[in-house]
Structure 1
Amino acid sequence: MRYTGWRKKMVEEHVIARGINDPRIIAAMSEVPRHYFLDSALAEQAYGNHSLPIGAGQTMTQP
């Protein structure tokens, strides 16, 4: 449940607040569980405004 709240906050503070108003983008950002793509040790950081490593030298960009 906590991830749902964090995802909602991310969309409000880092997507909508920056002027992104396309409902398709807002829906996608609201529904994709970013924490699933991270090592469990980083899961709680999934919805912050920073990039995170996802393995193989790749990163997940900030929202």
Structure 2
Amino acid sequence: MNESQRQLTENAGSEIFAAAGKASPPITVSGLAVAGVSLQDWVFIATLIYTVVQTLLLMPKLVKFVQGWRRG
């Protein structure tokens, strides 16, 4: 496989992953609706997940800030 074919293959793979990432939220919502989870419950679940992720991302920064503040 020459360089241009390899590059096309890599680009196609990344485009597939990007398309799958864009399609996953609607597919998840549709799947949950079919499973009997209402839209209100879905919004609650998404908000809960978002809050947990944001908290986990903020914790290392907060710990570092507090440690620096304690040291002076």
Greater relative contact order, per chain length (Cα 8 Å cut-off, separation 6+): 1
Higher strand share: 1
TM-score normalized by structure 1?
0.31
* TM score, norm. by length of structure 2: 0.29
